[in-house]
Amino acid sequence: MEDNRIKEELRKIPQVDHLMESERTKALTLEWGRVLVLKALKDVISLIKEEIIEKGLSDVTEDKIILSLEKKLRDIDLMKLKKVVNATGIVLHTNLGRAPLPKSAVDLVAEVAGSYNNLEYDLIKGERGKRQLYVENLFKELTGAEDCMVVNNNAAAVLLCLQAFSKGKEVLVSRGELVEIGGSFRIPDVIRQSGCELLEVGTTNKTKLTDYKKNISQNTGILLKVHTSNYTIKGFTETVSMGELSRLAKEKNLLLMEDLGSGSLYDFSQIKDTNEHTVKDSLKSGADLITFSGDKLLGGPQAGVILGKKELISVLKSHPLARVLRCDKMTIAALQAVVEIYAGNGDIKKEMPVLSMIFQDEEELSKKQEKLMTGLLEDVGDIFQISHRMGKAEAGGGSLPGVTIDSPCVLLVPNRGKAHSWQEALRKEKVPVIVPINEDGLMFHVRTLSYEDIDLIIEEIKNVRSEEKGEVKG
């Protein structure tokens, strides 16, 4: 388009003030608030201007602008943090918030957050007290650790330990354990960020005790073992056990630290092929310091738990970074309720949602599968082929790598239209449903679904259908 025509088209766009005064925009403002509507409107208009200039878009009407505005607002709504239904079968889904908390934790968070509390007040003495002392004491009792410190997440825990005890020195790590967790957590980067130098020992598949030995020098700060949280190395392999490393560390007067990633207070060894050991095991085999996440297999809130020798933890607690990395009261509340479940008399496998999903019995799973299947057949059986399937569920979130659990699913193949359109429509429903695609259909894993989730799924599939989202109907 020539310059004059472009100018002409740009001039046709109504003023923002004028648009904000229109009846339809006013209605939107009532629903969404003026701030959001104005921002969305400005975004929509600059996009339209771009399209006029670059793609020759013409004849932009007020009506078109308002339609784009409505769509923009719906997109903004999808950016809000909200509950979603997880039909992926991945129990600890990092994108979906990892561990759903037990009810007692949710209740305590609400209570503590909505009122004053004794976060840093000692009710026995009536004076200033320490936050999280109770939680840390329970962790000590449950694990046999000399002392405990809780920080914001495991990445923070690792960073703090390395910085406090190895700054300016070398950290020895096996080449096979230079983990990337996803996002931006890479062990080599964290080591550098802590002011330490990474010294890789051994090879990717084999690391021997002598590899550590021959790299130890005056400049060595810490021997670090990292749990290979999201992969397994199979075949011609060799790793050095914590026991062996501990003997070496003692002999050389060095610190031994283990980043457990997904530390667990529950014994997962009953699951076949697992490389997950408990926090207790790690301490028993001689680690001076261990760190793990609160929201992986432990099943709690985002937090990093550090356990280890008393004199070391006390150095950490007085480190300047401790304040930077400390947890919020809501985290401490949630963690307290979770640790109390592990310390209590109840059935941990039932009370902790993460464990109950992983260890769900077949009868329960079949019941859910049946409920979903029956509901769907009744309501939308005419537009889908609906069948039972066996899928593979995973613990996920950097835990139990390589372990899949056979898991009942319901497969929904649309008679017309594409599974992808249904997947998108369900993702954009009021309570978004996240479901993977398999064999050209939607594969609902019931392991990660509650009974209420199943009702919701049925309801929302009916909604999508009645909204006649063109594509979906095919």
Ligand X SMILES: *Cc1c(COP(=O)(O)O)cnc(C)c1O
Which residues here bind ligand X, judged by CB under 6 A?
153-155, 158, 179, 181, 185, 226-227, 229, 259, 261-262, 293, 304, 398
Beta strand pairing call for 85-86 and 197-201: unpaired
Q: Which residue is nearest to ligand X (CB)?
A: 261
CA atoms within 13 A on the CB side of 293: 19
Q: List residues bridging with 224 in a β-sheet.
A: 257
CB closer to ligand X out of 260 and 426: 260
Residue 96 DSSP SS3: helix
Residue 332 DSSP SS3: helix
* C-alpha to C-alpha distance for 191 and 174, rounded to whole angstroms: 13
CB closer to ligand X out of 158 and 279: 158
Query: Residue written as tokens 């109770």?
Result: 134
We find the least distance from the C-beta atom of residue 153 to ligand X, in angstroms, to be: 3
CB closer to ligand X out of 39 and 186: 186
Return the structure tokens found at 370: 């049946």
Beta strand pairing call for 304-308 and 197-201: unpaired
We find the least distance from the C-beta atom of residue 185 to ligand X, in angstroms, to be: 5
Contact 341, 106 (CB under 8 A): no
We find the least distance from the C-beta atom of residue 173 to ligand X, in angstroms, to be: 11
* C-alpha to C-alpha distance for 342 and 108, rounded to whole angstroms: 16
We find the least distance from the C-beta atom of residue 300 to ligand X, in angstroms, to be: 11
CB closer to ligand X out of 121 and 185: 185
CB closer to ligand X out of 153 and 407: 153
Contact 284, 134 (CB under 8 A): no
User: What sign for the dihedral angle of Cα 183, 186, 191, 193?
Assistant: negative
CB closer to ligand X out of 89 and 261: 261
DSSP-based helix, strand, coil % in the chain, nearest 5: 50, 20, 35
The length of the chain, given as a count of residues: 474
We find the least distance from the C-beta atom of residue 266 to ligand X, in angstroms, to be: 17
We find the least distance from the C-beta atom of residue 135 to ligand X, in angstroms, to be: 16
CB closer to ligand X out of 396 and 414: 396
CB closer to ligand X out of 25 and 264: 264
**Nearest by Cα to 244 from 277, 279, 209:** 209
Query: Residue written as tokens 């997947």?
Result: 423
We find the least distance from the C-beta atom of residue 303 to ligand X, in angstroms, to be: 7
Contact 334, 103 (CB under 8 A): no
We find the least distance from the C-beta atom of residue 233 to ligand X, in angstroms, to be: 14
